[in-house]
A and B are shown apart, each in its own frame.
Chain A
Amino acid sequence: MNDLLNLLIGLAMGLNLVALGTSRLPSLIRIAALQGMVLGIMPLVMEHELRVMLLAVAVATVSMKGLVIPALLRRAMRTANIDRDLDPLIGFLPSLLLGAAGMIGAVVLARRLPLRPEHHESLLVAGALASVLAGLLLLIGRSKAISQVCGYLILENGIYLFGLLLIHSTPLLVEGGILLDLTVAVFVIGIIVDRIQRAFDSLDTRKLTVLRE
């Protein structure tokens, strides 16, 4: 049970690094979607008995993060008609190395934290910290709006991993609410991307700093 969970978290951590190393926008979207799906099935692995509510949340997470949000992002990418190469502010190699260093740091830090005994063997905290770091790196280090959204999604995946620690005490309704918020946020960002594209003829967010009358 725990081994399978750790394997899934390891997979998600590996996907973080792939996301930091990739240079194409469609593959970045695909990686964020895959990571969302991997996280979506985790509650099923963690719980011992299957409940209808749990199954519903898992199905909703997988379909939202794996299908709906990527479809929204792809549509935004298509309508904005942008160059699909990412334009990194932090190069791919430095961001990959930073991500790996962050991942090792997260594992070390998670071992030092005073966790509850049942969480000592799992990689949940380490995976959450590593995903948050990778998401932050993507947010800071990529200049295009859609790639920053992918960074935001990966960051949210990290927070979701943290939330899994509390799966026994938080109502799953909360998870459902967060999922809905996330989808709406991506939906709104899709519209904003379109507006940025119309106003500036580019999705480079650096241009937003020169806004004036």
Chain B
Amino acid sequence: MNSIIAFPARLAVWLLLAPLLPGIINKVKAWVAGRRGPPVLQLYYDLARLWRKGVVVSTLASPGFIAGPAVAWVAVLAAALLLPLGPLGASLSFRGDVILLLYLLALARFCTAWAALETGSAFEGMGAAREVSFAVLAEAAVVTAVLTLSLQSRSVSLSAMLVPAAGSGTLLLAVGLFTVLLAENCRVPFDDPNTHLELTMIHEVMVLDHSGPPLAAVLHGAAMKLLLFSVLLVQAVLPVGKLPPAAGAGALVAGVLVVTVAVGLVESLMARVAFRRVPLLLTTAFLLCVFALLIAWKGGAA
């Protein structure tokens, strides 16, 4: 594909389509609960409104309070551009780019936690501590999933390794990655995005003191991260890259929609688990990925 057209197209997909996903999730939740729910485009309105507003900065905060969300947003966007988008391909592909993707996501998390600590608020410190401690377990699962994929394809480049293997390993990997998606994006069994009780929040409590454009960057970054993990999950399970371009794009869009609706259904039908159960759930995701890895390993040796 022509790279002059493809790059803006990819950028447009990540920047413009990402805020759709939270809207769809909220619509699914409203539908299950029998409500009308907010419009699907609600996050776009919120972002536009936040962008016009001013910023309130605590007297304690250093410039890191503004820089944190900005760096996190750029890091998530850069990570997203590394991920191939079905027939559109990746903007940049090189040996080991998957490791850069993992580190960019870790950098984004670090910056969000840093900005949360800047205000000196006890609640935000608590949220940052929770986010980072759960991330340790979630990252173990993601790294294992990436190892599985690279072992299946014998490659460490994202564009070559997102080729699913048929069999039970893929199913294990899909369930493991879906659990990680829920944990990384602070969805229901781990965290409730709608909660307004500081004691139970994880991600939301970290951004309590942000306002105006930095909050818009945080919200948009979270939406992009959700899209990133959905695309990763779909491409790890469906052979999107091998289909003809039109069918590949269709499969990718359909897959992402299915993942989004599944997140909405999980959110409607499950309760948030108690904090002491969260490590157990994340360890389960890690074990699922470990078993997928073992199947990939054993299958490769046989």
B residues 230-272 in Cβ contact with A at 8 Å? none
Does A163 sit at the interface, judged by CB under 8 A? no
Q: Given A7-B168, A10-B168, is A21 in contact with B280 using a C-beta cutoff of 8 Å? A: yes
Does A162 sit at the interface, judged by CB under 8 A? no
Interface size of A by CB at 8 A reads 12
Does B279 sit at the interface, judged by CB under 8 A? yes
Contact of A23 with B277 in the complex, beta carbons under 8 Å: yes
Specify which chain A residues have a CB less than 8 angstroms from the CB of B227 in the assembled complex. none
A residues 18-33 in Cβ contact with B at 8 Å? 21, 23
Does B185 sit at the interface, judged by CB under 8 A? no
Interchain CB contact (< 8 A) of B283 among A7, A10, A97, A107: A97
**What 1/0 flags go to A10-22 for Cβ under 8 Å of B?**
1000000100010
Does B211 sit at the interface, judged by CB under 8 A? no
- A-B contact count, CB below 8 Å? 21
Specify which chain B residues have a CB less than 8 angstroms from the CB of A93 in the assembled complex. 279-280, 283
CA distance A187 to B290 in the complex (A): 39
Does A37 sit at the interface, judged by CB under 8 A? no
Q: Given A7-B168, A10-B168, A17-B287, is A96 in contact with B294 using a C-beta cutoff of 8 Å? A: no
Which residue on A lies nearest to B274, using beta carbons? A23
Which residue on A lies nearest to B279, using beta carbons? A93
* Interface bin, chain B: under 10
**What 1/0 flags go to A98-130 for Cβ under 8 Å of B?**
001000100100000000000000000000000
CA distance A23 to B284 in the complex (A): 14
Specify which chain B residues have a CB less than 8 angstroms from the CB of A107 in the assembled complex. 294
Specify which chain B residues have a CB less than 8 angstroms from the CB of A17 in the assembled complex. 284, 287
CA distance A21 to B287 in the complex (A): 12
Specify which chain A residues have a CB less than 8 angstroms from the CB of B168 in the assembled complex. 7, 10
Contact of B294 with A21 in the complex, beta carbons under 8 Å: no
CB distance from A141 to the nearest CB of B (A): 14
CB distance from A14 to the nearest CB of B (A): 9
Interchain CB contact (< 8 A) of B294 among A23, A92, A97, A104: A104
Contact of B284 with A96 in the complex, beta carbons under 8 Å: yes
Query: What are the 5 closest A-B residue pairs judged by CB atoms, nearest first?
Result: A100-B287, A92-B280, A93-B280, A21-B280, A93-B283
Which residues of A are interface residues toward B (Cβ below 8 A)? Answer: 7, 10, 17, 21, 23, 92-93, 96-97, 100, 104, 107
Which residues of B are interface residues toward A (Cβ below 8 A)? Answer: 168, 277, 279-280, 283-284, 287, 290, 294
Could you list 18 A-B pairs, sorted by A, with CB under 8 Å?
A: A7-B168, A10-B168, A17-B287, A21-B280, A23-B277, A92-B280, A93-B279, A93-B280, A93-B283, A96-B283, A96-B284, A96-B287, A97-B283, A97-B287, A100-B287, A100-B290, A104-B294, A107-B294
